[in-house]
Amino acid sequence: MRRVYLDHSATTPVDARVVEAMLPYLSEKFGNASSVHFFGQQARAGVDRARREVAALIGARPQEIVFLSGGTEANNLAVRGIAEASAAYGRHIITSQIEHPSTRGVMDALEKSGWQVTRLPVYDDGIVRTEDVRRAIRRDTVLISLMLANNEIGTIQPVAEVGALVRELRAEGRRHLWLHTDAVQAAGRMTVDVELLGCDLLSLSAHKLYAPKGVGALFVRRGVRFIQQIVGGHQERERRAGTESVANVVAFGEAARLAVEEMAERTERTRRLRDRFEAGVEARIEEIVFNGNRQQRLPHLSNISFRYIEGEGLLINLDMQGVAVSTGSACSSGSLEPSPVIRALGRTDEMARGSIRFSFGKDNTDEDVDYTLEALTRAVENLRRLSPLYLESRPVPPALI
């Protein structure tokens, strides 16, 4: 049986070149990057190089990069850190209805402690409107947090337009209004430039870039002050305590360097494969809905709802045929609730529960697409035969009338 991995939005396989770069820091270059002796300085040199490489990925300065454990911690540190530092100026935050669970979770926690959160709609195309952001801003608004690209449907949000709005308001005297964006899904799959975006904080995660899990980064623009959430050490310019995971940080840096070099090629390849896949699905399977704007989205991702089918059943059926996909965010795995992202598009619970995310990677092939289309067609046909609602919707054969 062929094995096809189409869940690159959940995680990516570690590139062999990334493994090669990190291996020395698991053996002879094992020092603590905070130590002053030779071994420590070897490790520090690796961290410093990685900081430059990650900064180059997003057009930032190296000193504006904070290494931490991953995208979830980056989102938590950005949102809670800014909120706690800015509480004297206001206790209102603006976000969207389709943020990653790590952002939604910290917003929910802040609400329980007296903060007010405005969650903007994304309409049927999955995109926030900049005019809605403008209307939602109040005198006590201190933070706007919008993801750059959604992890389930891939839609790209107008963060640069919101950044221009924030700069405009700052010029008018709103000095304590900050903009954070979760770029975990976007980085390496589209051009990300913190100057063009106008953001003050930006979250990254290495394992979406063909590097290991357990390391991420937060861009913090020079001059932005926030309250650190992990204390007890002087690492990362006292913005995040804890000994750096040197080998993982080095791997992140190498993955970022390769992403910059190969982005155009990877983007063209995954877009071509995804479009070929979607054309095949449209030709073979009826009663489907593509979720989110199909132009303003990431090049590697396709989210489709299949009527009369539970997404979990389709996922399991495909897995039994060797095809790995997802029903949504890996961080929400195990939840029986319909995807809040798909529901935010105005879809019914049935359509939300029947949604599947297919996310392509740089090493997928045309043969992977062909095999997946065959497996998907069989799976949908088999599952719909078991659906009373589907069978009731079919026209009665003339011979039975």
Q: Residue 395: what pLDDT? A: 72
> Domains in the chain and their CATH numbers?
4-11+263-386 (3.90.1150.10), 16-258 (3.40.640.10)
State residue 179's pLDDT score. Answer: 98
Q: Which residues of the chain fall short of a pLDDT of 50?
A: 400
pLDDT, residue 364, reads 98
pLDDT of residue 331: 54
Given this model, what pLDDT does residue 391 score? 82
**Which active-site residues does the annotation give?**
331
Label each residue of the chain as H, E or C: CCCEECECCCCCCCCHHHHHHHHHHHCCCCCCCCCCCHHHHHHHHHHHHHHHHHHHHHCCCHHHEEEECCHHHHHHHHHHHHHHHHCCCCCEEEEECCCCHHHHHHHHHHHHCCCEEEEECCCCCCCCCHHHHHHHCCCCEEEEECCCECCCCCEECCHHHHHHHHHHHHHCCCCCCEEEEECCCCECCECCCHHHHCCCEEEEEHHHCCCCCCCEEEEECCCCCCCCCCCCCCHHHHCCCCCCCHHHHHHHHHHHHHHHHHHHHHHHHHHHHHHHHHHHHHHHCCCEEECCCCCCECCCEEEEEECCCCHHHHHHHHHHCCEECECCCHHHCCCCCCCHHHHHCCCCHHHHHCEEEEECCCCCCHHHHHHHHHHHHHHHHHHHHCCHHHHHHCCCCHHHC
Q: For residue 398, what pLDDT is reported?
A: 54
State residue 396's pLDDT score: 59
User: What is the per-residue pLDDT for 330?
Assistant: 52
